[in-house]
Amino acid sequence: MKNAGAVHLMDDSESAKNLRTVELLARDLVRSGADRKSLVIAVGGGVVGDVAGFVAASYLRGVGLIHAPTTVVAQVDSSIGGKTGVNLPEGKNLVGAFYPPKLFFPIPTCCVLLPEREFRGGLAEIIKHAVIADAKMFAYLEKNMEKVGRRDRTAIAYLIPRNVAIKARVVARTNANRDCAKS
C-alpha cells in the first residue's frame, strides 16, 4: 500500500449515510493505494460504523474492518452485529452487507463526552439488554442508576462488556439461523 495510515474523514450525520459518501471514501482508498491487505478502521458512532463497514465490505470485494465505536449505542449494539449499510432516498439501510469486523475496540471513556440525549439513547439500549437477557445487570442498574446517570467510569466499564456479550450472543444465534435458512 502506498500510503499506510491514511486518514479519510466523513460527515457523521445521518444525511451522509449514502452511496455518495461510499463513493468518496472508496475513491480516497484508491488514491491512497489501498490494496487487499488494507484495513478500514471505523472510529465513531453508528453512522461511521455503518458506512465504513459497507466500504470495507465492498472495496476490492472486502478488506479488513476494525470498529472503534465512540458512542454508547455503537459500543453495545450497532458495531457488533456486522450489519453495514447506507440509505437511499426511498428508505434507511436499503443497500448494505453483513460484514463483521475483524476486531472490535469499544472506547467506554468516550461515553463521558457524549451529549445527554445521545448518552440516554445508549442507556436505553443497555436497559433493554438487561431486561431481555441479564437479570444480574438489571439489578446492578437498579442499584447504581445514579452512578450510571453521572457516567461514572466504573459503572460504564462494568456495563459495556456485559452488553457486548449479550449482543454477540444474539448475533451468533441470528447468523446460525441465517446459515440454516441458506441450506
Better-scored residue on pLDDT, 26 or 168: 26
**Residue 78 pLDDT grade (very low, low, confident, very high; cuts 50, 70, 90):** confident
Fold of 14-182: Rossmann fold (3.40.50)
Is the pLDDT at 3 greater than 70? The verdict is no
For range 120-134, the mean pLDDT: 95
Binning the chain into helix, strand and coil, the percentages to the nearest 5 are 60, 15, 25
Is the pLDDT at 179 greater than 70? The verdict is no
Q: CA-CA distances (angstroms) from residue 8 to 26, 42, 75?
A: 10, 10, 21
- Sketch the domain layout of the chain as residue ranges: 14-182
How far apart (Å, rounded) are the C-alpha atoms in residues 40 and 52? Answer: 7
Query: What's the pLDDT tens digit per position in 35-76?
Result: 999 999 999 999 999 999 999 999 999 999 999 999 999 999
Work out whether strand 39-44 and strand 64-69 pair parallel, antiparallel, or are unpaired: parallel
3-state secondary structure 118-165: HHHHHHHHHHHHHHHHCHHHHHHHHHHHHHHHCCCHHHHHHHHHHHHH
Better-scored residue on pLDDT, 107 or 176: 107
Tell me the β-bridge partners of 104.
67
Joined grid coordinates for residue 98: 453483513
Q: Which class for 133: exposed (0-12), middle (13-18), buried (19 or more C-beta within 10 A)? A: middle
- DSSP 8-class letter at 34: -
